[in-house]
Structure 1
C-alpha cells in the first residue's frame, strides 16, 4: 500500500500560495478603493495571537476596521457571504486590542467589509459595506 507523501513546511503548497496571493491582491484592491474615497490607511495585516485585521483606516474621525474577502467566482457564494456573526465578534475583539496596543482613542469605531470579485480575464468588482457589526 502506498504511503501518502509527507508534507514539509519548507515545500510550499501551490493551492495555499494561490489563495494567499489572491487575498493579498484583494486587500490591495480594497485599500486602493477605500483610500480613493478619502480614507487614510493606517495599518494592513495587523496580527496578534487572537487573529488578524486586514485593513485599519481612518474615515474622518472614525477608525475603520475592515475585513476583505476576495473570490474569483461566486460558485461558493459571494465574497460578502463569507463573514458570519462569529467573524464580526472576532473583529470587535481585535479592534479593541488594536486600540489598546496603539493607545488610540477615536471618536467612533466602525467595522466595514469589502468584497472583491476578481474573475480571471474579467473586470474586478468591489463592494463596500459600512458598519457590518
Structure 2
C-alpha cells in the first residue's frame, strides 16, 4: 500500500485549518462569556518567546490570565482535561511577562480556564474554572 505524498509546505492542511478555526471560535465564545460576567478583555492571543496567552482580562483589580480549550466532541476527553500542572505553571510565568510588558496596576493575578464544547449542530457548552491551583 502506497503512502500518501507529504503535503507541500505551501498547501494549507485542511485539518489544521479546521482546528485553528475551532480554537478561534472557542476563544470568541469564551471572551463573550467572561465579558458577560463583568470582565474586561485587555488582550487576545498575546505572544512572546515563552508562549501565548489566549485571553488577558481584568476582573475588578484582578488580572486574569485565561487559557481556553475548545473541542468539538469529548472523544479525546473534556476540554479542560488538556490543562495540567505544567501548563498552569507556564501560564503563571506568561502572566508575569505580560505584566512586565504592559503598564497595568493590579491587586492580584488569577489563572482561569474556560472549556468550550462545540459539537456540530448542537448547543455550545461553556465551563469556567476560576483560580486554578
Describe the superposition over 1:5-40 as per-residue Cα deviations: whole angstroms up to 9, x where unpaired. 243331100110000000000000000000011100
| Equivalent position of 1:27 in the other structure | 27
Q: What TM-score comes out, normalization by structure 2 length?
A: 0.95
| Equivalent position of 2:103 in the other structure | 103
Report how many aligned residue pairs link the two structures. 133
* d(CA) in 2 for partners of 1:8, 1:48: 28
Q: Structure 1 segments of 4 or more deviating over 4 A?
A: 1-4
Alignment of 1:1-133 (within 5 A): 5-133=5-133
Partner of 1:41, secondary structure, is strand
Q: What TM-score comes out, normalization by structure 1 length?
A: 0.95
Q: Which runs of 5+ in 1 are unaligned?
A: none
Q: Which runs of 5+ in 2 are unaligned?
A: none
